[in-house]
Amino acid sequence: MNTNYLMPTKILMGEDCIRSNALELAGLGRKALIVTGKNSAKRNGSLDDVLFSLDKNGQHYALYDQVMSNPTIACVYEGAAVARREQVDFVIGIGGGSAMDAAKVIALLARQDIPREELLSKVHKPDALPLAMVPTTAGTGSEVTPYAILTNDIAQTKTPIGSLALFPRCALLDAGYMAELPPGTTLNTALDALSHAVEGMLSVRANPMTDLLAGESIRQIASCFEVLHLGVLEPQHRRALLYGSVLAGMVIANTGTTAVHSMGHLLTYFRGIAHGGANGLLLPAFIRRVQGGMPERMANIWPLTGFPGIDQFSSALAGLLGEREELSEEEIEKFSAAAIRAKNVRNCPVVLSYEDIAAIYRESFACQDGNLKEIC
Ligand code: FE
């Protein structure tokens, strides 16, 4: 039995955790590049807390605050140019998955000259500037993974870069930064984390340790389904979702994701559907396809969700996601042909065919309130 587990990231979680752990940043370098989006880190207080801590440590910083949703290759090269010009020696990512993933690749490009056309197609030396991460959404888990996902306009999807050098040195998690997150963002990110945990349990690389983490993650996130539906979250719900998302990140750091993510990336690239929402849309039909091949694993998952089985789980997700868009047969064929080429399709004991993937897309977009029972 494989029970290997690696987590080199120091995880610090709790109220006011950046200011009270300022010394954690002191050991990372002399001058930081702070990588973030245009607004949220300024609004939610996370940037102020980082700047306060750097100042207290006598550290300098430069700011790159141009990261967009689903960051592009141009964005990370621009950020890396700032890192080199400012001669920073570590990187702090503040934000959701987009900002943290961009920070990781900027840290890599600050240390290595990688031609743009090779960034997403080659394996790179495990050499990057030290990283610290401050997540301001509860979903991606990027603060504890060795992956960064970038928009890939050549392959027309989103493509991961994986390297042990992308494991952050430390992750600073404070659910207080999520207090004002809009309900839609809260829901989408929670579904991303849930999908990480479920996919991790259904991965060929799952083991008893990752199952333990995934199980608790699923339990924490599923306990918030009702408040996610209402869109009104108290601080304890924010803490549960953040805890669930970091646990799920610790899972996929070791197990990887499965077909749900490769299929979801196409929905994000071509249809602009938020990453977590795309995973949430696809997850029930994916489970229906694979559950017969691994009944014991599914039997372990259902009690954690609080639902007796796939029908109730599927209905609950449909209720959370509301009305969904339509996908044409042409799109289904195009997306299925692209998704089947992704490596993580083979990361599940039940390997899906092109026809399986097309059927999952078809079912996922047919599962609306009215026809849920008859199709799903
Ligand atoms: Fe994800």
153-158 long-range Cβ contacts below 8 angstroms, 24+ apart: 153/72, 153/73, 154/120, 155/120, 155/338, 156/269, 156/270, 156/338, 157/262, 157/265, 157/266, 157/269, 157/338, 157/342, 158/70, 158/265, 158/268, 158/269, 158/275
Map tokens 């900002």 to a residue. Answer: 99
Pairing of strands 60-64, 31-35: parallel
The average confidence (pLDDT) of the chain is 95
Expressed in angstroms and rounded, the spacing between residue 54 Cα and the centre of ligand 1 is 30
Residue 309: is its pLDDT beyond 90?
Answer: yes
- Report the pLDDT value the prediction gives residue 1, as an integer from 0 to 100: 66
Which residues, 6+ apart, have CB-to-CB distance to 108 below 8 Å?
Answer: 114, 124, 127, 128, 161, 163, 165, 166
Expressed in angstroms and rounded, the spacing between residue 142 Cα and the centre of ligand 1 is 9
Name the band, by pLDDT with cuts 50, 70 and 90, for residue 2.
Answer: confident
Residue 177: is its pLDDT beyond 50?
Answer: yes
Expressed in angstroms and rounded, the spacing between residue 307 Cα and the centre of ligand 1 is 23
Residue 371: is its pLDDT beyond 70?
Answer: no
Tokens of 186: 């809260």
CA 185/CA 333 separation, integer angstroms: 29
Residues 102-116, mean pLDDT to the nearest whole number: 97
Expressed in angstroms and rounded, the spacing between residue 195 Cα and the centre of ligand 1 is 7
- Report the pLDDT value the prediction gives residue 325, as an integer from 0 to 100: 84
Residue 30 identity: R
Q: How much of the chain, in percent, has pLDDT values that exceed 90? A: 92
Expressed in angstroms and rounded, the spacing between residue 317 Cα and the centre of ligand 1 is 17
Name the band, by pLDDT with cuts 50, 70 and 90, for residue 368.
Answer: very low
Expressed in angstroms and rounded, the spacing between residue 18 Cα and the centre of ligand 1 is 25
- Give the model confidence (pLDDT) of 201-230 as tens digits: 999 999 999 999 999 999 999 999 999 999
Expressed in angstroms and rounded, the spacing between residue 257 Cα and the centre of ligand 1 is 8
Q: Write down the pTM of the prediction.
A: 0.95
Residues 164-182, mean pLDDT to the nearest whole number: 97
Residue 236: is its pLDDT beyond 60?
Answer: yes
Residue 376: is its pLDDT beyond 80?
Answer: no
290: enclosing H helix or E strand: helix 275-290
- Give the model confidence (pLDDT) of 245-288 as tens digits: 999 999 999 999 999 999 999 999 999 999 999 999 999 999 99
Expressed in angstroms and rounded, the spacing between residue 261 Cα and the centre of ligand 1 is 6
- Report the pLDDT value the prediction gives residue 164, as an integer from 0 to 100: 96
Residue 370: is its pLDDT beyond 60?
Answer: no
285: enclosing H helix or E strand: helix 275-290
CA 63/CA 78 separation, integer angstroms: 12
